[in-house]
Amino acid sequence: MRRTARNLPGVLPMLRRFRRRRYERAIAPFLAARDGRARRLPDGIVYEATMRCNLRCEFCYVGELLNIEGQWRQELPIDMLRRAFPERKGLQVSLTGGEVFVRKDIEQVLDLFRAKRYTCGYLTTNGTLLDNERARALARLAAAGFLRHVSISIDGPPPLHDAARGVTGTFARAAAGLRRLQAAATESGAPIRISVNTTISADSLGALDRMADVAGELGVEAIGVNHLMFATPEEVAETRRLLGDPRAEIATFVTAQPGVNAEEVRVKIEALAARCHSRGIHFDARPKVGNTAMEAYYSPGAPLAGRCLYPFLHARVGFSGKVYFCPFIRVEVGDLSQAPLEEIWNNETSARLRRTLLEQRLFPVCRRCCKVELERPC
């Protein structure tokens, strides 16, 4: 396991406190003004580089919900990307998809953002297309100070992962890609953080605590666990009513019953956390669901209190340049092929949606999102 400052005793709690104070300072003006206006530019941009993918995972809703216009191959070309994204040193951009490496010009996209002096907070991938050339390219970007974190999606031990991904041998290909990236980073001395990311589901929950063994065998330093993100049909309907848009696209897993037992989740997460601790593997779960909120979280329709201020700080940009209110609520607030991000970021549509969010504190479909700040129940 690579030894970093993050692994030293007391460092992570100190980092968490620092980040919390910085976050509270950042959101204080928005809470005071309550006019829905954010700063001139977002702190970060999540760019969905493509919605195409080389896998067809059984739990993935991207193909049905995010490809709203059927424009799978009409990603913004490099020249338009250069004009559309602002010039701002230090702006954080993160890349997701789809599978980012299905996009043939993805290395040019990354080089463009590096040339704009951005930083790449994270890049998510299924790992199966990470050949030696791409691994070395990522290592070079990390060595240059641009790329900080690569997250590779792993659902569990090999048989479980292959079943979830729908293709035999997917785990072996992902593991091989991960090791190529590790080797390239070691060769170049690149300070790149590599983690595995797994999502709780009815199929994967039974093996969740074994993810520490998977991570240990792969030699990664961190595991990120996503609680199952879902909404009921009733929560979708109520969110659309609050938005005043009966056709608003909601991009999450919509189900009346997720089929996941809250107590089993609690037991498995505690076991996984303990095994990660014993192996020196950093463990994190998103959103922060404490034991007292676990039952409500996995009970369809149960009320959950909290807030979300993500749309005040982060822009969500689709592959074709359309800017959305947030990852779940796919209400278009602008189009980078028609207007620059600075103009879209604080336009009236964006401000109106943020004002409504402040009034509601949390839309019903946002109760089970990785960005939500859940309150502890009384």
Contact (Cβ atoms closer than 8 angstroms) between residue 180 and residue 131: yes
What is the reported pLDDT for 59?
Answer: 55
What is the reported pLDDT for 378?
Answer: 45
> Within 10 Å of residue 32's Cβ, how many Cβ atoms?
8
What is the reported pLDDT for 75?
Answer: 84
Amino acid letter at 147?
A: L
The CA–CA distances, whole Å, from 271 to 92, 249, 321, 328 equal 34, 37, 42, 30
Q: Cα–Cα distance between 254 and 275 in angstroms, integer? A: 32
CA nearest neighbour of 314 among 330, 332, 327:
327
Task: Please state at what angle helix 132-143 crosses helix 106-115, rounded to 10 degrees.
Answer: 10
Specify burial of residue 259 (Cβ count, 10 A radius: 0-12, 13-18, 19+): exposed
Q: Cα–Cα distance between 94 and 34 in angstroms, integer? A: 28
Cis geometry, peptide bond prior to residue 377 (ω within 30 degrees of 0):
no
CA nearest neighbour of 268 among 228, 202, 210:
210
What is the reported pLDDT for 238?
Answer: 96
Contact (Cβ atoms closer than 8 angstroms) between residue 39 and residue 223: no
Cα 85 vs. chain centroid, distance in angstroms? 20
Q: Cα–Cα distance between 146 and 125 in angstroms, integer? A: 17
State both tokens at 282.
């950093």
Specify burial of residue 296 (Cβ count, 10 A radius: 0-12, 13-18, 19+): middle
Contact (Cβ atoms closer than 8 angstroms) between residue 204 and residue 198: yes
State both tokens at 231.
């909404």
Residue 118 is classified by DSSP as -
Amino acid letter at 367?
A: R
Q: Which residues, at least 6 apart from 252, have a Cβ–Cβ distance to it below 8 Å? A: 61, 65, 229, 230, 231, 328, 365, 368, 369
What is the reported pLDDT for 62?
Answer: 56
Q: Cα–Cα distance between 136 and 122 in angstroms, integer? A: 17
Q: What whole-number percentage of the chain has pLDDT above 70?
A: 92
What is the reported pLDDT for 9?
Answer: 59
Q: Cα–Cα distance between 178 and 219 in angstroms, integer? A: 9
For each of the chain's 378 residues, which pLDDT tens digit applies? 444 555 555 677 787 788 889 888 989 999 999 999 999 999 999 999 988 887 766 556 555 544 444 544 578 889 989 988 988 899 999 999 888 999 989 999 999 999 999 999 999 999 999 999 999 999 999 999 999 999 999 988 999 888 877 788 999 999 999 999 999 999 999 889 999 999 898 888 999 999 999 999 999 989 999 999 999 999 999 999 999 999 999 988 899 999 999 999 999 999 999 999 999 999 999 999 988 899 999 999 898 999 999 999 999 999 889 999 998 999 999 999 899 899 999 999 999 999 999 999 999 999 999 999 998 654
Contact (Cβ atoms closer than 8 angstroms) between residue 270 and residue 210: no
Cα 128 vs. chain centroid, distance in angstroms? 19
Question: Model-level pTM?
Answer: 0.88
3-state SS, residue 281? coil
Strands 44-48 and 314-317: parallel
Could you report the per-residue pLDDT of 22-60, keeping only the tens digit for each? 888 989 999 999 999 999 999 999 999 988 887 766 556
Cα 344 vs. chain centroid, distance in angstroms? 22
Q: How many helices (H) and strands (E) does the chain have?
A: 13, 14
Place of tokens 């065998």: 217
Residue 289 is classified by DSSP as -
